[in-house]
């Protein structure tokens, strides 16, 4: 009679999920996010008028008395869908910690034991970065962009007659895009964790990265005001160096090199 020995599993090891179980886990996480977003959007729609006041405040603050009532619509359904879309994206901000936790729960089985215990840190850091980027855009970036576009329109002698949907396109793109860009340090943490980037390489090619960042800033910021391009470029370049510092911290862990 032979006895089959089962290899002992180390405490920090976990059986990898098969491909189809990964898809099932992804499905469950997406369903959780969808249900939460539906509930939050439904609740947020009751505050839609307040949200609309907050969304248009940067424009009205810049325009002052010139913009008594700058918005108009040509489609009867446009106000409803515009406010509904605004309620949806407001709900994304409101439940962003829950959404980031779902992301963490999905990638958690692929991490090591010590990193699996960082759920609270991951949720807090990613949520803080996202909200900080959005607040930066709302308080500084979007007002600057609005002033540039308004000055151009006034110089051309144009009268404002804005559609809510098109205004929200610019507003949400700026706020959400900046919020996502502030997640760069978190992204580079995982890239470094899996050995895809190095701090030495990032610092070696910082000049090339600066040129690329300034070129992207010049393309994404309208107008001919060099200060706007420099402002956005400095913010993105600062995030690049912060990300390089995060990568360096990951590399300084002696256990990481043996675990990957």
Note whether 187 and 173 are same-domain residues: no
Tell me which of 181, 202, 223 is where a domain ends.
181
Confidence tier at 40 by pLDDT (50, 70, 90): very high
**CA 193 from centre of chain:** 20
Work out the average pLDDT over 96-100.
Answer: 90
Residue 6 inside a domain? The answer is no
Tell me which of 181, 197, 213 is where a domain ends.
181
Identify the pLDDT of residue 116.
65
d(CA 74, CA 53): 20
Compare 16 and 46 and report the one with higher pLDDT.
Answer: 46
Q: Which residues pair with 133 in a beta bridge?
A: none
Q: How many residues does the chain have?
A: 260
CB 247 within 8 A of CB 192: yes
Identify the pLDDT of residue 54.
93
pTM for this model (two decimals): 0.76
pLDDT score of 52 more than 90: yes
Note whether 145 and 260 are same-domain residues: no
Confidence tier at 38 by pLDDT (50, 70, 90): very high
Helix (H) or strand (E) holding 260: none
List the domain range (segments joined by +) for residue 230.
Answer: 183-260
Note whether 203 and 95 are same-domain residues: no
pLDDT score of 24 more than 80: no
Note whether 122 and 241 are same-domain residues: no
Confidence tier at 12 by pLDDT (50, 70, 90): very low
pLDDT score of 114 more than 80: no
Note whether 188 and 168 are same-domain residues: no
Domain count, the chain: 2
pLDDT digits (tens, 9 = 90+) for 166-215: 899 889 888 888 888 888 888 888 788 777 888 888 888 888 888 888 88
């Amino acid at each position: 009679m032979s006895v089959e020995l089962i290899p002992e599993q180390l405490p920090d090891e976990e059986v990898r999920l098969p491909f189809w179980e990964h898809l099932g886990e992804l499905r469950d996480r997406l369903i959780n996010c969808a249900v939460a977003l539906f509930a939050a959007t439904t609740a947020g729609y009751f505050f839609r008028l307040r949200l609309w006041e907050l969304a248009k405040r940067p424009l009205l603050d810049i325009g002052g008395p010139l913009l008594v009532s700058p918005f108009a619509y040509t489609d009867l359904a446009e106000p409803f869908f515009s406010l509904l879309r605004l309620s949806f994206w407001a709900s994304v901000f409101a439940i962003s910690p829950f959404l980031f936790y779902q992301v963490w729960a999905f990638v958690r089985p692929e991490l090591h034991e010590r990193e699996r215990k960082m759920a609270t840190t991951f949720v807090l850091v990613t949520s803080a970065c996202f909200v900080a980027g959005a607040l930066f855009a709302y308080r500084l970036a979007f007002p600057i962009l609005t002033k540039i576009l308004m000055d151009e329109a006034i110089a051309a002698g144009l009268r404002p007659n804005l559609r809510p949907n098109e205004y929200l396109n610019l507003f949400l793109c700026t706020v959400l895009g900046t919020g996502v860009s502030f997640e760069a340090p978190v992204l580079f943490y995982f890239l470094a964790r899996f050995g895809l980037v190095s701090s030495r390489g990032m610092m070696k090619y910082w000049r090339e990265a600066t040129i690329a960042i300034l070129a992207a800033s010049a393309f994404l910021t309208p107008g001919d005001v060099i200060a706007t391009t420099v402002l956005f470029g400095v913010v993105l370049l600062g995030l690049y160096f912060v990300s390089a510092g995060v990568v360096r911290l990951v590399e300084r862990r002696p256990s990481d090199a043996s675990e990957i």
